[in-house]
Amino acid sequence: MTKERGGMTAGGAIFQRLKALGVEYVFANSGTDFPPIIEGLAEAAAKGVELPQAIPIPHEHAAMGMAHGHYLMSGRAQAVMLHTNVGLANGAIGAINAACDHVPMLLMSGRTPVTEGGRFGARTVPIGWGQEMFDQTALVRESVKWDYELRFPEQVAPLLDRAHAIASSTPRGPVYLALPREVLCQPVAPETLAGGPSMVPACAAPDPAAITRAAEMLAGAARPVIIAQRGAGDAASFAAFADWVADWGIPVCSWWATHLALDTDHPCHVGPDPGPWLAEADVVVVLDCLAPWWPDRHCLSPEAKVIHLGPDPLFSRAPARTFRCDLAVAGETALTIPALIAAMGQAPADHVALSARRQKVAAAAAADLAGRHAQAQAGRDGGISKAWVSHCLSEALADRPSSVFSELGTILGPLERRGHRSWFQEPHSGGLGWSFPAAMGARLAAPERTVVATIGDGSYMFANPTACHQIAEALGLNILVIVLNNAEVGGRARLGPGALPRRVCRARQHRAVDRAQPRS
């Protein structure tokens, strides 16, 4: 189609523009809408034009999960391209997960031709009538920040620029662009694709006045606590956060954490239960938490003041979320944490009281960690518990640069995790089957790391495992997948009908981790 129409088509131009935007991979599951795109790829290959790598993915859910996992490891938005409404429907769960997790990606799918003849790219086979919808975008509209439909070929560059900028702006998230086949088949002037992005993302920094107020509240607090679910920003702010909470003796609770904010053996990491801390806290910092506590189980002290920090501290996409908020500080976590640390550095401090608080928090953290290790040891009796699997995996991964993607699988505490991007748990949206493809995307982004997916047996089935194993084999993605038969949702994990002896379990895990190392 590129030659027949006398130049590059809009379909052939898409990958060229994605390259200009810094996209490295397009995870694609193609169909009848893709001929002009495929011809554009073939022409670029013949001419030696460098484009993002197109990776054919045999199931849309896997494509979405791989883009998700790649971003978690690389920090760069990738693209997913699907087939009309049916492909988009299969990818919708991935869009829900990405939206909940504030993960940017450029989601595209073809649009069944509107015309029934007389125009290049019009409908040809019966499926063109069967896949037509009044509002195809409705399949993902509630899960994307922005959506549009390509109307004219000259819009390719400006619309992709806008999509990428919005996806990567605070708060980040997926965007969607529909691609009608008639438009993809139309010629586009190559000069319109030249140059860098015409639009850049907006990165929100915290309001200095709000930071000052938060610092004053924390500096004056006798019993502060931080609840962190989605990490502590980038590698630099992660390290600074660890030093800061240690200096100030502030306990950090990892209630339902999806990203690691603090090493599990840090003297301020007090485990996942916020209940005892919330009951006596006078200042609570909610660090990028969708649901910082369980309302009918955890009791917040009536005197407590609550500070919410994060890219979207009030989580405006959630229709009902009424956790108390006395101060909201909006901004990227990687910018908010250093700003708060700087402001706290200028605040007065009672060093005697701080020393006593540090000791109390460190003792509580040590007791929690010891209790979880005891739980792991006890888990060997009568079967292999989640805690015991987590403990064994922790030993197998010791001193290895590694990332664990857990989906109703292993648990923090018995599984010791240290370092930025070392732990990810399934998004709170609950779109199952996330861990396996996300781990593959992460390994694609960071081939030097050992990547492990730990999955409940139900989630493993939701991941379309045949497709995932095929992808891993085809791309040489050496990841370790541990499937836990937990017998019920969130229940005790038993791997098989009986217990494996400890030495067998450990040996098998070590061999599996060794096989998951990068190839030389």
Work out the burial of residue 347: count CB atoms within 10 Å of its CB; fewer than 13 is exposed, 13-18 middle, 19 or more buried: middle
> DSSP states of 499-513 as a string?
PPPHHHHHHHHHHHH
**25: helix, strand or coil:** strand
- Residue showing tokens 């229940």: 491
The confidence score (pLDDT) of residue 493 equals 44
pLDDT band at 509 (very low <50, low <70, confident <90, very high): very low
- Kindly report, residue by residue over 19-64, the tens digit of the pLDDT: 999 999 999 999 888 888 999 899 889 988 899 999 999 999 999 9
The confidence score (pLDDT) of residue 123 equals 81
Is residue 117 a contact partner of residue 145, using CB atoms and an 8 Å limit? no
Cis amide linkage into residue 311, ω under 30° from 0: no
- Inform me whether the pLDDT recorded for 349 exceeds 90: no
Q: Which residues contact 380 (CB under 8 A, 6 or more apart)?
A: 388, 499, 502
Please choose, from the candidates 505, 504, 468, the residue with its C-alpha nearest in 3D space to the C-alpha of residue 484.
505
Q: Positive or negative CA dihedral for 229, 234, 237, 239?
A: positive
pLDDT band at 92 (very low <50, low <70, confident <90, very high): very high
Mean pLDDT of 390-402: 93
> DSSP states of 354-408 as a string?
HHHHHHHHHHHHHHHHHHHHHHHHHTTTTS--HHHHHHHHHHHHTTS-EEEEEES
Q: Positive or negative CA dihedral for 111, 117, 121, 124?
A: positive
- Kindly report, residue by residue over 220-254, the tens digit of the pLDDT: 999 999 999 999 999 999 999 999 999 999 999 99
The confidence score (pLDDT) of residue 126 equals 85
The confidence score (pLDDT) of residue 311 equals 98
The confidence score (pLDDT) of residue 268 equals 97
Q: How do beta strands 105-111 and 174-180 pair?
A: parallel
pLDDT band at 497 (very low <50, low <70, confident <90, very high): very low
Among the residues of 181-269, which ranges form H helices? 181-184, 208-219, 235-248
Query: Distances from the Cα of 434 to the Cαs of 97, 244, 457, in angstroms?
Result: 8, 33, 13
- Kindly report, residue by residue over 272-303, the tens digit of the pLDDT: 999 999 999 999 999 999 999 999 999 999 99
pLDDT band at 516 (very low <50, low <70, confident <90, very high): low
- Kindly report, residue by residue over 161-199, the tens digit of the pLDDT: 999 999 999 999 999 999 999 999 999 988 888 889 999
> DSSP states of 440-499 as a string?
HHHHHH-TTSEEEEEEEHHHHHHT-HHHHHHHHHHHT---EEEEE--SSTT----SSSSP
**170: helix, strand or coil:** coil
Mean pLDDT of 490-509: 40
**225: helix, strand or coil:** strand
What does the alpha-carbon distance between residue 60 and residue 45 come to, in Å, rounded to a whole number? 25
- Inform me whether the pLDDT recorded for 373 exceeds 90: no
Mean pLDDT of 389-396: 93
Q: Positive or negative CA dihedral for 139, 142, 147, 151?
A: positive
Q: How do beta strands 305-310 and 283-287 pair?
A: parallel
The confidence score (pLDDT) of residue 520 equals 33
- Inform me whether the pLDDT recorded for 456 exceeds 50: yes
The confidence score (pLDDT) of residue 261 equals 98
The confidence score (pLDDT) of residue 375 equals 79
Most confident segment among 4-8, 263-267, 347-351, 494-498: 263-267
CB atoms within 10 A of CB 355: 11
What does the alpha-carbon distance between residue 405 and residue 426 come to, in Å, rounded to a whole number? 8
Most confident segment among 60-74, 346-360, 479-493: 60-74
- For residue 6 the two structure tokens come to 């006398």
The CA-based diameter of the chain, rounded to the nearest angstrom, is 83
Please choose, from the candidates 332, 218, 195, the residue with its C-alpha nearest in 3D space to the C-alpha of residue 283.
218
**How many residues can be counted in the chain?**
520
- Inform me whether the pLDDT recorded for 75 exceeds 60: yes
High-pLDDT (> 70) share of the chain, % = 91
What does the alpha-carbon distance between residue 67 and residue 479 come to, in Å, rounded to a whole number? 16
**226: helix, strand or coil:** strand
Q: Which residues contact 408 (CB under 8 A, 6 or more apart)?
A: 426, 455, 456, 458, 459, 484, 486, 489, 490
- Inform me whether the pLDDT recorded for 413 exceeds 80: yes
What is the dihedral angle through the alpha carbons of 328, 332, 333, 336, rounded to the nearest 10 degrees? -60
The confidence score (pLDDT) of residue 84 equals 94
Q: Which residues contact 374 (CB under 8 A, 6 or more apart)?
A: none
372 versus 209: the higher-pLDDT residue is 209
| Residue-averaged pLDDT of the chain | 90
Among the residues of 101-184, which ranges form H helices? 127-130, 156-167, 181-184
- Inform me whether the pLDDT recorded for 499 exceeds 70: no
Q: Which residues pair with 111 in a beta bridge?
A: 180
Please choose, from the candidates 17, 27, 3, 93, the residue with its C-alpha nearest in 3D space to the C-alpha of residue 441.
27
Amino acid at 39: E
pLDDT band at 490 (very low <50, low <70, confident <90, very high): low
Start-to-end C-alpha separation, the chain: 41
Q: Which domains does the chain have, with CATH numbers?
A: 10-193 (3.40.50.970), 208-369 (3.40.50.1220), 379-515 (3.40.50.970)
- Inform me whether the pLDDT recorded for 421 exceeds 70: yes
What is the dihedral angle through the alpha carbons of 73, 79, 81, 87, rounded to the nearest 10 degrees? 50
